[in-house]
Amino acid sequence: MSLEFTASEMMSVTAARALTSDMTCFVGIGLPSEAANLARLTHAPEVTLIYESGTLQTRPDVLPLSIGDGELCESALTTVAVPEMFRYWLQGGHISVGFLGTAQIDRYANLNTTLIGDYREPKVRLPGGGGAPEIATNAKEVFITVKHSKRTFVKDVDFVTTVGFGRDGKARDNVPNIGRGPTVVITDLCILKPDPDSKELVVTSLHPNVTREDVIEATGWEIRFVESLETTPEPSAKELEVLRDLKARTNKHHAGQQ
């Protein structure tokens, strides 16, 4: 019997599976945090989660609303100063994966969390880069999880807050001491990876019940698919149960209910 699950659940479960117990992961708030904690509560119990506020080996019972959420500090092994977090942990090469979300992403996996529209007269101001530019530069690789739509998946981001592979796909070529950059983008429709040569994002796997047309319609450039296109494995009953429990606890907690 096939399990019932939503596109959002499919995305979180798939993103969680990208993490393993031997990884040290610098976690962004929102969808990355959901996926990282799902991994910790299922197949990767020893994964080390680090948040920008300086919390090391964090094991929250509910998902944080921000990096300043008390749950992160209370459930961490220890908390260090933010400069130490960036200077020693991140710039020192101790982070295996940076897990990021974004408002806009383009075909070369550049991320925009700064503004929508023209820089001098923006239509919308966004929260800004936070630690994402440093994470994308210094983590050994970057995972991105984001919902798939034409508004988010644009041919060229309005502003490069966080470099993926630059405007031409060559920003990381011959640059010393820099991570590999984005290695996978996981959405509620599919999995994308950078082409080994051009660095343009291509679809490598479609989620169950998703068609090529669905992805084409939700992408702001002429998206390509690999020849040996795969179907992403469905979530298991255990993964769905743990994810739903986590979200229910989180919603109850943030609504002020114990």
Tell me whether residue 208 is in a domain.
yes
Tell me whether residue 96 is in a domain.
yes
**Any catalytic annotation for residue 52?**
yes
- Would you state the pLDDT for residue 162? 97
pLDDT tens for each residue of 160-182: 999 999 999 999 999 987 899 99
What global pTM score does this model have? 0.95
Q: Compute mean pLDDT per 10 residues along the chain, 258 residues long, and list them.
A: 88 97 94 96 97 94 92 94 94 95 97 96 94 94 97 98 97 89 98 98 98 98 98 97 96 84
In total, how many domains does the chain have? 1
Tell me whether residue 129 is in a domain.
yes
Q: Which of 9, 52, 71, 239 is catalytic?
A: 52
CATH code for the domain of 232: 3.40.1080.10
Tell me whether residue 1 is in a domain.
no
Tell me whether residue 15 is in a domain.
yes
Tell me whether residue 2 is in a domain.
no
Give whole-number Cα distances, 205 to 20, 164, 188, 225, in Å. Answer: 20, 20, 11, 8
- Would you state the pLDDT for residue 177? 76
Q: How far, in Å, CA of 105 to CA of 224, rounded?
A: 16
Range of the domain at 155: 7-254
